[in-house]
Amino acid sequence: MNLNKVMIIGNLTRDPELKTTPNGTPVATVGVATNQVWNDQNGQKQERVEFHNIVVWRKLAEICGQYLRKGSKVYFEGRLQTRDWVGQDGIKRYRTEIIADNMIMLDRAGGAQSQGGYSANAVPLPSEPMMHEQSIDINDPYGNQSPQEEEIKIENIPF
């Protein structure tokens, strides 16, 4: 048995970047920061921040683009995926990302502060955390569409 499951709660480091693949599929990239706090051997408070790259597809990407902003507290659930490519300099590069299939907004209406000129009150956020699941049947990851219509190739990803 294998398991590839990631769950994180953190704050967005930038506004979501929403794009569309050449075949019309929405995709969003999001940066999330999480932190760990502990006391070292001397009793001094220590903190470590981790930065995560999140990729969100389809309707969930559109929801992220519409409701999330830099600083938003959010829960993402998904799986780790590492992609590789050869850069223009000929060096092979790697990037590990969380491919999200579930998101819960954890900010409450009026609870988020203004970030970069954006006021959280300008967008009606729910009074309760909002959850959106994007279920993908592993036997039919294309949602009853043929793979030729919905196949996503690495060279078509707009980032």
Query: Is residue 53 assigned to a domain?
Result: yes
Query: Is residue 1 assigned to a domain?
Result: no
Which CATH number characterizes residue 123's domain?
A: 2.40.50.140
Give the mean pLDDT of 65-77. 94
Q: Is the pLDDT confidence value at 115 over 60?
A: no
Query: Is residue 111 assigned to a domain?
Result: yes
pLDDT, one tens digit per residue, over 1-39 is 999 999 999 999 999 999 999 999 999 999 999 999 999
Give the mean pLDDT of 55-59. 94
Confidence of residue 107 (pLDDT cuts 50, 70, 90): confident
CA nearest to 37, candidates 53, 48, 29, 21: 48
Three-state SS for 60?
helix
pLDDT, one tens digit per residue, over 129-143 is 444 444 444 444 444
Query: Is residue 28 assigned to a domain?
Result: yes
Q: What is the pLDDT of residue 155?
A: 56
Burial grade of 157 (CB within 10 A; 0-12, 13-18, 19 or more): middle
Query: Is residue 124 assigned to a domain?
Result: yes
Domain total for the chain? 1
Domain hosting 123: range is 6-156
Query: Is residue 30 assigned to a domain?
Result: yes
Kind plus residue range of the DSSP H or E element containing 67: helix 58-67
CA 48 vs CA 18, 37, 72, 101, 112: distances in Å: 29, 7, 19, 26, 23
pTM of the model: 0.65
